[in-house]
Amino acid sequence: MIKLFSDKKIAELFELLNTSQKITVVTHVNPDGDAIGSATGWCSFLRKRGFNPIIIVPNHFPNFLKWINGTENIHVYFNNKDTCERLLKNSDLLFCLDFNNLSRLGALGEFIMTLDIKKILIDHHIGAEEKNFSLAFSHVPISSTCEIVYRIIWQITGRRHVSPQIAESLYAGIMTDTGAFTHSCSSDLFRIVADLMECGINREKIHSSVYNSFSVNRMRLMGYFISKIEVLPEYRTACIALTKEELDRFEFESGDTEGLVNIPLSIRDTVLSVFLTESREGYIKLSLRSVGEFSVDDMARRYFNGGGHKNASGGKSFVSLSESVTFFKSILPEFKDALLMVND
- Among residues 182, 211, 240, which one ends one of the domains? 211
Q: Do 135 and 267 reside in the same domain of the chain? A: no
Looking at residues 23-32, what average pLDDT do you find?
96
* 296 located within any domain: yes
Higher pLDDT, 157 or 278: 278
Give the integer Cα–Cα distance in Å for 118 and 95.
9
- Residue 306: give its domain's CATH number: 3.10.310.30
The reported pLDDT for the residue numbered 26 is 98
Tell me, yes or no, whether 2 lies in a domain: no
Segments forming the whole domain that contains residue 317? 216-341
> If you ran DSSP here, which 8-state letter would residue 317 be given?
E
Do 143 and 159 belong to one domain?
yes
Query: Could you tell me what percent of the chain has a pLDDT over 70?
Result: 99
Same domain, 69 and 39: yes
Dihedral pair phi/psi, residue 96, rounded to 5°? -110, 110
- Tell whether 127 and 55 lie within a shared domain: yes
Give me the sign of the Cα torsion angle 87, 93, 99, 105. positive
Do 148 and 278 lie in one domain? The reply is no
Same domain? 206 vs 261: no
Query: What would the mean pLDDT of 272-285 be, rounded to a whole number?
Result: 93
**Same domain as 190, residue 79:** yes
In angstroms, rounded to a whole number, what is the distance separating the alpha carbons of residues 140 and 127? Answer: 9
- Read off φ and ψ for residue 243, nearest 5 degrees: -80, 165
Check residue 111 and report its DSSP letter: H
Are 167 and 51 in a shared domain? yes
Element (H, E) at 271: none
Smallest Cα–Cα separation from 102: which of 90, 110, 94? 110
- Reported as a pLDDT band with limits 50, 70 and 90, residue 43 is very high
In a domain, 117, yes or no: yes
Write the CA distances from 45 to 13, 27, 53, 160, integer angstroms: 14, 17, 10, 12
Looking at 211, 245, 264, the residue that finishes a domain is: 211
Which of 76, 73, 126, 67 minimizes the C-alpha distance to 101? 126
235 and 252 share one domain: yes
Q: Which of 1, 68, 45, 12 is nearest to 149 (CA)?
A: 45
Residue 302 lies in a domain: yes
Average pLDDT over residues 2-25: 94
pLDDT in tens, 295-334: 999 999 999 998 888 999 999 999 999 999 999 999 999 9
Average pLDDT (266-272) is: 97
Q: What value does the mean pLDDT take over residues 86-115?
A: 95
How close are the terminal C-alpha atoms of the chain, in Å?
30
Q: Does residue 327 belong to any structural domain of this protein?
A: yes
Tell me the CATH number at 138. 3.90.1640.10
| Boundary residue ending a domain (194, 211, 228) | 211
Confidence of residue 343 (pLDDT cuts 50, 70, 90): confident
Specify the pTM.
0.90
Residue 197 and residue 239 share a domain: no
User: Is residue 344 predicted with pLDDT exceeding 70?
Assistant: no
Q: What is the pLDDT of residue 129?
A: 87
The continuous run of DSSP H or E covering 73 comes out as none
Mean pLDDT for all residues in the chain? 94
Domains identified in the chain, total number: 2
- Orientation of helix 321-341 relative to helix 296-303, angle to 10°: 140
- Taking the CA atoms of residue 148, residue 151, residue 157 and residue 158 in that order, the dihedral angle to the nearest 10 degrees is 150
Q: Using the predicted structure, report yes or no on whether residue 159 has a pLDDT greater than 70.
A: no
- Asked, for residue 61, whether it belongs to a domain, the answer is yes
Same domain, 72 and 182: yes
Whether 1 is in a domain gets the answer: no
Residue 144 placed within a domain: yes
Nearest-angstrom CA–CA distance, 301 and 309: 11
Same domain, 158 and 129: yes
